C-alpha cells in the first residue's frame, strides 16, 4: 500500500541523485575497500548474524564468555546471555594496560573560554577508578540511577565511565534543559544522586548549573547526594551541608584502584530521556554490554576509526550521539578525541576551524545544522585555516540537504573528503544506516546503506515491503545489540511505541525511501516529533506546556523548514476571551516553553488565531497549519475539515494581519 509521505520533487531529486565513489587514496587504507566487500559482508551478516556479532565480540575484552550469541527475538531478546563484560574496562583499561597506548592522549579538552587540558588513557584509568570508589562511598550500588547534569568536560567522562565500571546506571540530562525538565527526569528515574558542574560557559556567558539543580531538587525526590565539579572558578556556588560534595575534594580522598565489576551484557547500563509522541519524555534504557558491542561495531566501520586518528565529535554529552561515537565507541577503539565545551562559533565564527587546525583533526562528526551554519559563514573563512588533514566528515540527527553536502565536500574537504550522513535514533543506540567509508558510494543527502546484521526495510501501512522508489515506514526486522531494551518504568509503553505497528519488527517512527542503488533516504518523522538543530522535540510536549498558560485555550505546534536549523517550531494559539494578542503575551508563552523544556525549544513565532483547523472528530489538522506557514495557503485536501469557513480567516491571521509575534 502506497502512503503519501514524500513530494514529487523529493522523489525526483532522489531518483536523479548521482553516485560519488570514495577517493582512491581514502580507499587504500580503509577497513573495507569496495562496494563488493560491503555487499558480501552484509549478505553474510544477514544470513548469519550470530557470526558477525561473534566476530565483533572477539575484538573486545570479556570477563566471562558463554557460547550463546542471541537469544529470543524482537521485542524480547538478549545478546551474549550469561556472558560478562565491563564497558569501562574496554574503554579505558584495555588501552591503559597496553604499553603502546597507555601514555597516549585519550581526550583533549578545549573550553569555550580557551582553557585546555588533556588526559592519557593511564590517567583516565586512575581518575575513573577513583570516582567509582567515590560512588561506592556514597552508598551507590549496581542498578542505582545517577543523574548527570554536565557539559562536555573530561570530568563528565570520568563520572560516566565510573558508573559503567560498577554497574550504576547513569542518566545524562542535557545541561541546556530547564530546572523543570531536569526535575522530571530526576524524579521519574528515581535517581539517588546528581553529579553536576557548578556552571558552564556558553556564548561567553556562564550558565549556573548548580542553581538549576537546586531548583530541580526542590520537590520530593530520592536524591541523597550531589557532587559538584567547580568548572567555573570563582562562581559563587551554594552548597547544602550533608548533601552536597565538592568533586575535587571527594575524589582526592579516593583510592585509585577499583577493579571493573563483571556485568551481564544485558544489564542496564545507561538511561537517556528522549521525546516521544506523547507529552511525557521516554526514559530509554540501554544494556551496557549490548551498547558497547553495537557502538564499537558502528564506530569501527562507519567512522573507519583507528587509534591513530584525531577525531572530533562536536555533540554534547546530553545527547546519545556522544555516548555512541565518543564515550563508548570512540574510546573502545582507543582513539584520541577532542571534547569541546560551548558554542562552536564563539568567540568568533572560525572557532570550529581553529580547533580543527590546532589538533590536526582528521575526522569530524557534527550535525547538519552546524555544517549549514559554517556554509553561511562562507568559503573565505574556511580557507583561512589549514584543514588539510581532514579525511572524513560525518553527520547525524536530521536530513543533510544536498547543498550542504556539496559545500562540505568542496569547502572543508578539498573535493575529495568522504562524507557520511548517518541515520540513527536514541532508541537504536547507534546508526543502522550509513555509508561505509572507503567501501560504499556516497550520494549527496542519502543515509547510505544498512549496517551489518541489521535487516532494515521500508513498508506500507499493511506492513508489507514496498518497492524501491516508493516511500514507506522505516522498520528493522531483527534484534541488534544496541537496540533499547525498555522504557524506564513503562514496559507497556515500550511495546506499544515500537513493536505494535508491524508485528515482530522495530518501528522507527520515520518515513524513508530506498532508491534503485540500494541507498536509503530518510524523509522525516511520521509522528509529532520535530528535529530542531538536531534536538529532538515532541510538539505535544510543547503544546502541553503552552496549554498550562492561563491565557491559552488551544495550542498547536508545527515545524517550519529553516535554512540553518533544519526545522524551527512555530506555535498557534487560540486565546481565552479575556486575553488579546500582544507582544508581551507571545514573549510569555515562549518563555513558558523555555522554562518547561529548555531554550533550544523556544518557538520561532507565536501566531494568535481565532480558530484551529479541525477534523469532525475535533482533532487539530496540523498539516494545514504547516501548509499555511510554508505556502501561505492550503493546497492539499480540505475535505476533512469540520468548518471550511475558518480557512480564509486563518490564512489572514497567519500571513496578513501581522499577528505573528
Site for ligand PRX, rule CB under 6 A: 274, 320-321, 396-399, 421-426, 447, 508-510, 522, 525, 531, 536
Cβ closest to ligand PRX, residue 157 vs residue 520: 520
Cβ closest to ligand PRX, residue 111 vs residue 424: 424
| Residue 464, phi-psi category: left (phi > 0), alpha (psi -120 to 50), beta (remainder) | beta
Cβ closest to ligand PRX, residue 368 vs residue 581: 368
| Least distance to ligand PRX, CB of residue 398, Å | 5
Cβ closest to ligand PRX, residue 337 vs residue 428: 428
Closest CA to 308 of 88, 60, 22, 104: 104
| Least distance to ligand PRX, CB of residue 317, Å | 13
| Least distance to ligand PRX, CB of residue 491, Å | 20
Cα–Cα distance measured from residue 180 to residue 548, given in angstroms and rounded to the nearest whole number: 14
| Least distance to ligand PRX, CB of residue 305, Å | 17
User: What Rg value do the Cα atoms of the chain yield, rounded?
Assistant: 24
With cell 544489564, the residue in question is 267
Three-state SS for 299? helix
| Least distance to ligand PRX, CB of residue 176, Å | 14
Three-state SS for 401? coil
| Least distance to ligand PRX, CB of residue 239, Å | 34
Cβ closest to ligand PRX, residue 49 vs residue 294: 294
| Least distance to ligand PRX, CB of residue 319, Å | 6
Cβ closest to ligand PRX, residue 140 vs residue 396: 396
Cβ closest to ligand PRX, residue 163 vs residue 320: 320
| Least distance to ligand PRX, CB of residue 274, Å | 5
| Least distance to ligand PRX, CB of residue 536, Å | 4
Cβ closest to ligand PRX, residue 171 vs residue 198: 171
Cβ closest to ligand PRX, residue 519 vs residue 659: 519
Cβ closest to ligand PRX, residue 397 vs residue 450: 397
Neighbours of 531 (CB within 10 A): 21
Report the DSSP pairing between strands 169-172 and 205-207. unpaired
Cell of residue 414, nine digits: 578539498
DSSP conformation letters of 50-118: HHHHHHHHHTS--SB--S--EEEETTEEEESTT-B--HHIIIIIHHHTSTTTTTSEEEEEE-TTS-EEE
Cβ closest to ligand PRX, residue 137 vs residue 455: 455
Cβ closest to ligand PRX, residue 130 vs residue 282: 282
**Which residues contact residue 558 at a Cβ distance below 8 angstroms, ignoring those fewer than 6 apart?**
530, 539, 569, 570, 572, 622, 625, 626, 629
Query: Which residue has the CB atom at the shortest distance from ligand PRX?
Result: 426
Return contacts of 135-141, CB within 8 angstroms, 24+ apart.
135/162, 135/163, 135/166, 135/168, 135/193, 136/166, 136/258, 137/250, 137/254, 138/193, 138/224, 138/225, 138/227, 138/245, 139/192, 139/224, 139/225, 140/166, 140/168, 140/192, 140/193, 141/166, 141/167, 141/168
| Least distance to ligand PRX, CB of residue 435, Å | 11
| Least distance to ligand PRX, CB of residue 114, Å | 29
CB of 94 within 8 A of CB of 122? no
Helices (H), 303-328: 320-322
DSSP conformation letters of 554-623: EEEEEEEEETTTEEEEEEEEEE-TT----HHHHHHHHHHHHHHTBGGG--SEEEE-S---BBTTS-B-HH
| Least distance to ligand PRX, CB of residue 396, Å | 5
Closest CA to 555 of 539, 532, 567, 568: 539
**Which residues contact residue 234 at a Cβ distance below 8 angstroms, ignoring those fewer than 6 apart?**
none
Amino acid at each position: 500500500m502506497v502512503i503519501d509521505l514524500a513530494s514529487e520533487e523529493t522523489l525526483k531529486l532522489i531518483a536523479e541523485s548521482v553516485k560519488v565513489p570514495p577517493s582512491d587514496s581514502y580507499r587504500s587504507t580503509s577497513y573495507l575497500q569496495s562496494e563488493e566487500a560491503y555487499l558480501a559482508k552484509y549478505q553474510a551478516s544477514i544470513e548469519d548474524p550470530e557470526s558477525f556479532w561473534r566476530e565483533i565480540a572477539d575484538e573486545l575484552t570479556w570477563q566471562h564468555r558463554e557460547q550463546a550469541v542471541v537469544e529470543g527475538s524482537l521485542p524480547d531478546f538478549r545478546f551474549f546471555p550469561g556472558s560478562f563484560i565491563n564497558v569501562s574496562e574496554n574503554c579505558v583499561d584495555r588501552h591503559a594496560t597496553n604499553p603502546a597506548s597507555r601514555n597516549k592522549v585519550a581526550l583533549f579538552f578545549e573550553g569555550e573560554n580557551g582553557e585546555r587540558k588533556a588526559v592519557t588513557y593511564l590517567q583516565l584509568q586512575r581518575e575513573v577508578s577513583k570516582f567509582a570508589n567515590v560512588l561506592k562511598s556514597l552508598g551507590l550500588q549496581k542498578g542505582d540511577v545517577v543523574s548527570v547534569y554536565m557539559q562536555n568536560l573530561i570530568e563528565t567522562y570520568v563520572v560516566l565511565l565510573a558508573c559503567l565500571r560498577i554497574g550504576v546506571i547513569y542518566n545524562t540530562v542535557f545541561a541546556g534543559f530547564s530546572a523543570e525538565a531536569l526535575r522530571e527526569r530526576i524524579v521519574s528515574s528515581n535517581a539517588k544522586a546528581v553529579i553536576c558542574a557548578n556552571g558552564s560557559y556558553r556564548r561567553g556567558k556562564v550558565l549556573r548549573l548548580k542553581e538549576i539543580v537546586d531548583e530541580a531538587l526542590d520537590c520530593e525526590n530520592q536524591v541523597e547526594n550531589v557532587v559538584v565539579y567547580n568548572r567555573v572558578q570563582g562562581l559563587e556556588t551554594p552548597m547544602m551541608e550533608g548533601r552536597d560534595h565538592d568533586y575535587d575534594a571527594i575524589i582526592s580522598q579516593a583510592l585509585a584502584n577499583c577493579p571493573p565489576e563483571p556485568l551481564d551484557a544485558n544489564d542496564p547500563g545507561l538511561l537517556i530521556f528522549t521525546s516521544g509522541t506523547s507529552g511525557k519524555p521516554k526514559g530509554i534504557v540501554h544494556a551496557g554490554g549490548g551498547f558497547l558491542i553495537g557502538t564499537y561495531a558502528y564506530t569501527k566501520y562507519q567512522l573507519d576509526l583507528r587509534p591513530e586518528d584525531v577525531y572530533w565529535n562536536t555533540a554534547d554529552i546530553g545527547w546519545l550521539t556522544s555516548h555512541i561515537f565518543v564515550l563508548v565507541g570512540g574510546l573502545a577503539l582507543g582513539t584520541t578525541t577532542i571534547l569541546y565545551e560551548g558554542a562552536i562559533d564563539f568567540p568568533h565564527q572560525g572557532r570550529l576551524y581553529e580547533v580543527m587546525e590546532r589538533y590536526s583533526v582528521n575526522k569530524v562528526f557534527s550535525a547538519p545544522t552546524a555544517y549549514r551554519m559554517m556554509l553561511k559563514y562562507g568559503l573565505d573563512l574556511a580557507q583561512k585555516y589549514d584543514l588539510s588533514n581532514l579525511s572524513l566528515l560525518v553527520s547525524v540527527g536530521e536530513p543533510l540537504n544536498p547543498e550542504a553536502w556539496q559545500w562540505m565536500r568542496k569547502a572543508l574537504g578539498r573535493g575529495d573528503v568522504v562524507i557520511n550522513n548517518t541515520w540513527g535514533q536514541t532508541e537504536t543506540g547507534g546508526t543502522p544506516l550509513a555509508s561505509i567509508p572507503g567501501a560504499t558510494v556516497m550520494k549527496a543527502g542519502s543515509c547510505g546503506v544498512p549496517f551489518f546484521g541489521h535487516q532494515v526495510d521500508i513498508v506500507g501501512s499493511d506492513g508489507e515491503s514496498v518497492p524501491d522508489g516508493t516511500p514507506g515506514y522505516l522498520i528493522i526486522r531483527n534484534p541488534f545489540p544496541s537496540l533499547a531494551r525498555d522504557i524506564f518504568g513503562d514496559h507497556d509503553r515500550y511495546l506499544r511505541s515500537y513493536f505494535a505497528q508491524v508485528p515482530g519488527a522495530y518501528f522507527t517512527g520515520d518515513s524513508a525511501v530506498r532508491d534503485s542503488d540500494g541507498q536509503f533516504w530518510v524523509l522525516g518523522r511520521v509522528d509529532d516529533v520535530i528535529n530542531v538543530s538536531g534536538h529532538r522535540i515532541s510538539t505535544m510536549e510543547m503544546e502541553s506546556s503552552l496549554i498550562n498558560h492561563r491565557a491559552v485555550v488551544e495550542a498547536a505546534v508545527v515545524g517550519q523548514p529553516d535554512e540553518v536549523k533544519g526545522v524551527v517550531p512555530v506555535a498557534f494559539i487560540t486565546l481565552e476571551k479575556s486575553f488579546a494578542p500582544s507582544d508581551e503575551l507571545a514573549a510569555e508563552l515562549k518563555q513558558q516553553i523555555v522554562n518547561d523544556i529548555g531554550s533550544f525549544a523556544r518557538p520561532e513565532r507565536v501566531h494568535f488565531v481565532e480558530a484551529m483547523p479541525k477534523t469532525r472528530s475535533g482533532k487539530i489538522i496540523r498539516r494545514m497549519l504547516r501548509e499555511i506557514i510554508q505556502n501561505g495557503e492550503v493546497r492539499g485536501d480540505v475535505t476533512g475539515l469540520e468548518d471550511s469557513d475558518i480557512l480564509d480567516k486563518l490564512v489572514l491571521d497567519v500571513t496578513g494581519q501581522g499577528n505573528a509575534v
